[in-house]
Amino acid sequence: MAPAEPGNTGPGNTGAGATGRVCSSGIAFRTCIGCRKRDPRGSLLRVVLRDGLLCVDPQGVEPGRGAWFHLECAERSLRGLPAALRWRGALDLAPIRAFLAIEHDQK
């Protein structure tokens, strides 16, 4: 059996996809789709596309294609959301805007 090569997944090999997602301290980092800055996932909000509907995923655990952004980057992030989610067509941003309004009012 040949040794595992970088980029191949299998026993004992994390594969190329795992690099850069978790630092050596075990903290998961994500990239904001608004400013492209990487931060710990706890400092970003995740939205997920489920059955063609946008949903807020505050815990970051919902299945489906998701996108992460800082609350401060919300407006810029919402413009780029269809591309980040690989969605062609219009997205109803109302649920996300309502969540952001509530978050803003609580501060």
How many domains does the chain fold into?
Answer: 1
* CATH code of the domain in which 60 resides: 3.30.1230.10
Residue 96 maps to a domain: yes
The answer, as to whether pTM is greater than 0.75, is no
Contact indicator for 45, 62 with CB cutoff of 8 Å: no
Residue 3 maps to a domain: no
Beta strands, E only, the chain: 29-31, 38-40, 45-50, 53-57, 65-69
pLDDT in tens, 19-68: 346 666 788 999 999 999 999 999 999 999 988 889 999 999 999 899 99
Residue 5 maps to a domain: no
- What's the sign of the alpha-carbon dihedral 76, 80, 82, 88? positive
Distance (Å, rounded) from C-alpha 50 to C-alpha 34? 21
Domain span holding position 79: 27-106
Residue 92 maps to a domain: yes
SS3 of residue 13 by DSSP: strand
